[in-house]
Amino acid sequence: MAKVKTAYVCTDCGAESSQWQGQCQACKAWNTLKEFKVSSAKKSSAGASKGYSGETENQVKSINDVDLAEVPRIASGMSELDRVLGGGIVPGSVVLIGGDPGVGKSSILLQVMCHLSTQHKVLYVTGEESLQQVASRAKRMQLPDEHLRLFTETDVEAITLASETEHPKVMVVDSIQTMQLAEVSSAAGGVSQVRETAAYLTRYAKQNNVAIFLVGHVTKSGEVAGPRVLEHIVDTVVFLEGQSDSRFRTLRAIKNRFGAVNELGVFAMTEKGMKQIKNPSAIFLSRGEDPAPGSVVMVIWEGSRPLLVEIQALVDDSPYGAPKRVTVGLDQNRMAMLLAVMHRHGGIQASDQDVYVNVVGGVKVSETSADLAVLCSILSSMRAQPLSQELIVFGEVGLAGEIRPVPSGQERIIEASKHGFKRAIVPLGNVPKGGIPGMEIIGVKSLQQALDRL
């Protein structure tokens, strides 16, 4: 019989300790160690791990002997999802998809599984809903569900037994917080249960070459509930984001062992489920007919494609001693730094005014190419002078007031030209040598030059 030992795991970093302590020695967090019990059964030679080819790989090899043949991917039926995953579903991979309640995680996975069921064997496992609820949602969304196999269970050992009978190529587990192992004493959703069940399913996926989607709940801070080690166990972590008052959803990869991170997929929530948005720039550019002060269009780079978004600024007199600095979709500290650069190198002061900056459409901008657009929109609002609706702006602003070039500058300008923009203020290093037909490109080296050309 397997021996049972007690271990203590940190809920923040996943570090393990043999005894309870008030402070985690790895991340120095207080009162984060939780107790759980694990069995220490001896591994037999028959339980050796298997790779994608089914042969044992627990031996030392030369790097030149490693097979570099690309694993064929499975098309999910959604090009936006395939883009985020790096080209499709990799057999034997484990994908963790997180998001707020009601954002559409189960809906998008149900659509994918119904599409895949017409070509492959698939299994949809639900631990939160009944079979009737899943079936009724598929009927309501008018999905091709004739070949979709459903299973309601929370015991991962029973799930793997059912999978060995069904032999699916893709399996969904909704959600990982409802799964449990009998040998772990804590309740479902606890740190130890989430960690052990995720590791159990990951081992099963690798040994049997089954692609598994795990649905994960999120905390109030927007992180996946459970130990942080959960994100290290799986191969890919994607988040489905969206505002409650908007029907648009963005799918973003923050970890991907089989492709690039920071790829962005855009969807629209409809009565028939998630609808792909092939041209997201057209949605984020739904501006009014009359130009308004404080509005400018910028071009950001998301993964492997440019994206045009509108940035809005509102500058108003501050009735209080400490003026407000509020940003939505941007880093607030970076905006404060840009205001200081504008004061020092542009001679424009906003120390006695409230400044509000918003990225339209709920897009989160993390790259520095939005610096120049932020300052242009702020200046437009301060002077109450609208900018041309045929103008696009991008560029990084340095502390010395210089305008630095950004990656893929020519591709950004070409994308703006396709959407009818006629004028661009960009870093001098991003100006194409041959120019672009129908586009007036203004290259600037300093912030003062950019403000003068406005």
pLDDT greater than 80 at residue 40: no
Report the share of the chain in percent with pLDDT over 70. Answer: 92
Distance CA 15, CA 89 (A): 31
> What does pLDDT average to over the chain?
87
**pLDDT given for residue 162 in this prediction:** 95
Helix (H) or strand (E) holding 317: strand 305-317
- Average the pLDDT over 25-50 and give the result: 61
Low-confidence winner among 6-10, 192-196, 286-290 (lowest mean pLDDT): 286-290
Q: How confident is the model at residue 327 (pLDDT cuts 50, 70, 90)?
A: very high
Helix (H) or strand (E) holding 353: strand 353-359
In this structure, are residues 175 and 213 in contact, taking their beta carbons and an 8 Å threshold?
no
pLDDT greater than 70 at residue 47: no
pLDDT greater than 50 at residue 284: yes
**pLDDT given for residue 255 in this prediction:** 92
pLDDT greater than 50 at residue 1: no
Query: How many of the other CB atoms lie within 10 Å of CB of 424?
Result: 25
Cis link prior to 106 (omega < 30° from 0)? Answer: no
**pLDDT given for residue 205 in this prediction:** 96
What tens digit of pLDDT does each residue of 384-403 get? 999 999 999 999 999 999 99
pLDDT greater than 90 at residue 371: yes
Distance CA 370, CA 388 (A): 18
**pLDDT given for residue 37 in this prediction:** 62
**pLDDT given for residue 404 in this prediction:** 96
* Contacts of 244 by beta carbon, 8 Å cutoff, 6+ apart: none
Q: How confident is the model at residue 46 (pLDDT cuts 50, 70, 90)?
A: very low
Of 46 and 274, the structure prediction assigns the larger pLDDT to 274
- Average the pLDDT over 359-379 and give the result: 91
Of 125 and 219, the structure prediction assigns the larger pLDDT to 125
Class assignment of domain 74-278?
alpha beta
| Cα separations in angstroms, 435 against 71, 117, 358, 410, 443 | 41, 49, 31, 9, 11
Distance CA 270, CA 2 (A): 51
Correct CATH for 283-453 of 3.90.1150.10, 3.30.465.10, 3.30.2270.10, 3.30.230.10: 3.30.230.10
**pLDDT given for residue 51 in this prediction:** 42
Strands 264-270 and 273-276: antiparallel
What tens digit of pLDDT does each residue of 75-132 get? 999 999 999 999 999 999 999 999 888 889 999 999 999 999 999 999 999 999 999 9
Distance CA 15, CA 7 (A): 10
In this structure, which amino acid lies at residue 235? D
Which residue, among 368, 270, 267, 372, has the nearest Cα to 313 in the 3D structure?
372
**pLDDT given for residue 57 in this prediction:** 52
Distance CA 286, CA 49 (A): 53
pLDDT greater than 70 at residue 5: no
**pLDDT given for residue 45 in this prediction:** 37
In this structure, are residues 9 and 195 in contact, taking their beta carbons and an 8 Å threshold?
yes
Strands 264-270 and 248-256: antiparallel
DSSP 8-class letter at 263? -
Distance CA 173, CA 106 (A): 10
Per this entry, what is the length of the chain?
454
Domain boundaries along the sequence of the chain: 1-40, 74-278, 283-453
User: 150: which strand partners?
Assistant: 124
Q: CA 364, 365, 368 angle in degrees (round to 5)?
A: 165
pLDDT greater than 70 at residue 360: yes
pLDDT greater than 60 at residue 145: yes
pLDDT greater than 70 at residue 287: no
How many whole angstroms from its chain centre is CA 324? 29
Distance CA 199, CA 196 (A): 5
At 376 the three-state DSSP class reads: helix
pLDDT greater than 50 at residue 421: yes
Question: Per mean pLDDT, which of 34-38, 202-206, 319-323 is the most reliable?
Answer: 202-206
Low-confidence winner among 13-22, 227-236, 404-413 (lowest mean pLDDT): 13-22
pTM of the model: 0.75
Low-confidence winner among 36-50, 280-294, 298-312, 431-445 (lowest mean pLDDT): 36-50
